[in-house]
Amino acid sequence: MSRVEVCSARIPPCSGRAVELEAGDELVVIDPMGQQVSDLTAFSRDDTAEYLSSGRSIDYASKLWLSTGDTLYSNRSTPMFTILEDTCGRHDFTLTPCSKKMFEIIYGETEGRPGCEGNLAAALAPYGISVDRVPIAFNIFMHVAFDAEGKVAVLPPLSRAGDHIRLRAEMPLIVAMTACSAGQSNNFSYKPIDYRVERLAG
């Protein structure tokens, strides 16, 4: 059986979208112009109390930076995604989405922008998922490094134009994604993110 594209869209700069996946669907997240992060989170459609867990995924993989062949787990230790392809190879799974408060606390903006947290929450609102429940996201293409003392550096993404990651849904999912609003995560050039959903035909 062949795969068909059931959805294809562009997420404008500094915004977010939600998409529903069936088990077996493949979600391809593309950086069309290069150096642009997309924060991604997910919830089980059967019970939204089950969500994508950074801590479980890092623990079971025994590594911080996940790539092709790795599994992303839920808080219930159930596989949510398998990474089938990854042309970039570096993503973050430790930091919370940028947020109004983060822009105020870290970057001194007097009136912070909604950030990925606000954009994920807006995309998830129709599903009854509130901003309090937006967890640490899988920050696709985000380049975070830690030195020997554990100091965090957020570096320009390593992704080049056209780089993508392909995730297979392992259960029915509500997925929310952004084109990240933090200058550090797009080298201060706020760009879009593309995605498509592929499904087995028939």
User: By the criterion CB under 8 A, which residues form the site for a second copy?
Assistant: 49-50, 53-56, 58-60, 62-65, 75-77, 94-96, 99, 101-102, 105-106, 130, 132-136, 146, 149-152
Question: Is the separation of the CB atoms in 41 and 176 below 8 Å?
Answer: yes
CB 126 → a second copy: shortest distance, Å? 19
* Residue 33 or 64 having the CB closest to a second copy: 64
| Closest among 34, 42, 127 to 81, alpha carbons compared | 42
* Residue 30 or 72 having the CB closest to a second copy: 72
192 contact partners, CB below 8 Å, separation of at least 6:
10, 11, 12, 13, 32, 33, 36, 179
CB 111 → a second copy: shortest distance, Å? 15
DSSP class of residue 87? S
* Residue 114 or 192 having the CB closest to a second copy: 114
CB 48 → a second copy: shortest distance, Å? 10
* Residue 5 or 59 having the CB closest to a second copy: 59
Distances (CA, A) of 119 to 2, 46, 116: 34, 23, 5
CB 49 → a second copy: shortest distance, Å? 4
CA 137, CA 40: separation in Å to the nearest integer?
A: 5
